[in-house]
Structure 1
């Protein structure tokens, strides 16, 4: 059928002939002539109207230009590709952009073929008012909008269910809003939104186990430090049950008062052997330490971390005899600390590196471009153009920046051996009242504040020394 009229001017004779041919086609293929899905740009086949109203809408609103295959008016889908055209056009995607887009229309059509009763209920929900007298929302539109907000702001399932219960009490009696996430999922299954492979142990396309993350996890296993462990210690990498850990520490105020002098530092451990969607869940995060007191631990956090560091070294060097209940066997469990997760001030306390003043950049160290502003008495850090490519046009600009061109190369990060050489001669004694000597008498602004070897290594540098020195 010729559909070029859809893109013609609505005042043209071609558009008039096309509208009448469409209405004749629709009347031949629908059961109720007073309940035909309206394909105008505003209704989008969701609302059903009579022939006269649809004709008026097509002239006032225009036809939906993405509606290439008239599946809601009796036209058969000749191929999956023709269904894809509707979806691609509605998403602004051309065929050359994505070869396999998500076939929403085809999924809906398949759902209709497999379960017509369920699909009929979906159409009823699309016309049913949210509550008696409501003109802005139908049951289906309210569910879809709420689901959109849930995905946009990452609401938990429990909070979403609680919100539905609260909305149900706020709305008038005899409202159609589902009162749980489970009920909402049941309403949307006809759209093909249920999970297709929920009972499969292996991925159907590639056959990979859905539960084994380890070296097959493309999300985390591609990280350079993960690959470095596999390359330098193949014995460790050959055992998929060996743990890959991360430590996160930061100060929080449990009383929610900015003026409170109380300090609380939780030290959390994350296991990256779990799937990405589970490793950061609350029930899988281990609280290893809780450092509390009237003062922040500061640079003396190593004193509190010493027992944890001993356990980590034991897990790396010798391992711990463990029992695998699934395979019913014992094995030696080892672990490696891949990295730490901190904000910048906590990073300075954990690693012993200066993070303020003239040498505040851990990468640039003594070569940090820093200037103290005379009137504001604050530090200003420039020289960022060094990290741009050598042929970048910003390097030659003067007026836009500090009046000078920048041709210096970016500094190289310190290796583990270089860090060790800098800190091994520092004499450090923990304690708030202990006078801290300078690491270098010739330099009044040292880049490192403490020697972690005096405290059996800090968490901040145990990763660095394990990865580069062993």
Structure 2
């Protein structure tokens, strides 16, 4: 088994183009960190050790990452192992499932580069090229196993998985930097490490909000200094007569902030990965369809929706979300009433053992406290709703790495998951008073208790229905 002439020619041309004298060896032992001048040595290594896993795109030998392809044979082989053990997470760096993967030599950098190059805009090309340089730069002179980027990426993954503080992580970086040989490339602070990986970050929007939950300072109100409804200042001010600067960034800190994590770039990243792109088709291609309720797609609601909107249902890659929200106390103090509201999106196209995994649950909004938004939560949902309207009506052009073609991705909210009080806030239906049942509505059977001064609903079964009063138990509302 010899390296074909075209592959040799491409590798040699890439060496000349980059002005280098050596070529990286992609065998199992070298893993592209060892370089040789003679291509015959690389051929011998490949015959002796075999190709390194997942190096399907020769990104270090002149092949473009955006035009890379993954053979279906290798992809299917990976999925055989996963289906035999569905309890194992697909996330290589999930601390709860598969900690052993943290010590493996393969960092899936090629897949990351593919995602970056596919989704990078023209203004990010310079940062992208710097990432490629750091991926080839050894950690120190003579290091063949680790590059600067791979080490920082692994350390950041460990920090995230084990919840290390920034201070402890900085101390660890300083210690490792001192232990390694002189003139090593390891950063010595959290800021430097994150700056190295900044092109890999997904977009985050910090949107200022009225402290009384009246409005968001976005779109036509982006430059406003006071609320158009209540007149409250946008900033934390010590004096009422403080003057405003025309530049919003030069004023005092905002009184309240909404953190929005745009979902469209994240969906593009999922589709740009061949493995994740195949998982998004699982509900149609690999699901066992035997008439039993095994997955959300087996429900009548899913079938009725596909029947009413056949254009949406015929494209199996379209996403159906489950939206969930509730208040949490981020400080773990039971005496505190501070309430922060995250808004999460679950992807129901995935297999049932992956739908609720941390990797595939998308945090779309984080509504800052100290008090709950209540019925004004619709104000904070507006950025997410705007993106969902685009995904529903117009769609977004997305590259499918599994089928190696672009398509128009659309998405919708299939259902919401919440407790009864949060249901009232999300739907706008009052779950208090005489007509508190959202199913029975005007036909709700309720009674006002004279002494405890509360309304109660009676005649409700486990699944309330106005036409089936099966119980005489009372529920106070």
The TM-score by the shorter chain falls in which range?
0.3 to 0.5
Which structure's CA Rg is the greater one?
1
